[in-house]
Amino acid sequence: MTLRVLDPRQPAQGEALRMAPALPSLKGAIVGMIDNAKIGTARFFDFVEEILKRDYGVRECIRRRKPDASRPVPQAMLMEMSGADAVLAAIGD
């Protein structure tokens, strides 16, 4: 009897993803924050927002909360973040 192993992965398509270039500074920046709807995330972002504004001169934080942790970010929410200079996504429990 022959054992046949199947590889379920699809071959890569399109261009490889690249990280966006780093911002030269956060001073005056708008930072988006996407909360995954778990218990600890909002409080974590409260602290992060305070630090970003106080220590790094961030002008504004746009905060949005996903409907739940198991689904991807809704398209409309992503569009709201399009004006941000940087976006953070975090999880918490």
For the segment 23-56, what is each residue's pLDDT rounded down to a tens digit? 999 999 999 999 988 888 889 999 999 999 999 9
Residues in the chain: 93
What's the rounded Cα separation, in Å, for the pair 49 and 93? 18
**Structure tokens given for 77:** 């929410």
What's the rounded Cα separation, in Å, for the pair 76 and 51? 28
pLDDT digit string, tens, across residues 61-80: 999 999 988 888 999 999 99
User: Per-residue pLDDT for 92 more than 80?
Assistant: no
C-alpha dihedral, 92 to 85 to 61 to 36, nearest 10°: -20
Supply the Cα-derived Rg of the chain in whole angstroms.
18
pTM attached to this predicted model = 0.77
What's the rounded Cα separation, in Å, for the pair 53 and 61? 9
